Amino acid sequence: MDFSIIVVSCNEAEYISVCLYCILNQNVTFNYGIIICDVGSSDNSLEIKKEYNSKHKNITHFVQNREPKYHKFLAMNF
């Protein structure tokens, strides 16, 4: 793999399909992987991500639990 794309999302069911579709349909000459990190979605975006993950070998999907420490870390460092 030459390149990795990281997509972090939470409750993005309305937009995640368009995001992944656009990434997957780029005309590139290198190998790439997509890493999807879900940070505790409560809508159906998790099912959409799992569907893309099952259809595309270059997609890896992770689920991160929503913990106060995690969000506090993001707020402090970004």
Under DSSP, the state recorded for 4 is E
As a whole-number percent, the residues of the chain with pLDDT over 90 amount to: 45
How many whole angstroms separate alpha carbon 24 and alpha carbon 20? 6
70 pLDDT more than 60: no
Which residues are CB-neighbours of 38 under 8 A, at least 6 positions away? Answer: 9, 10, 45, 46, 49, 61, 62, 63, 64
- Kindly report the length of the chain: 78
pLDDT in tens, 20-57: 999 999 999 999 999 988 888 889 988 998 899 899 98
Q: What is the mean pLDDT of the chain?
A: 83
Going by pLDDT thresholds of 50, 70 and 90, the confidence category of residue 78 is very low
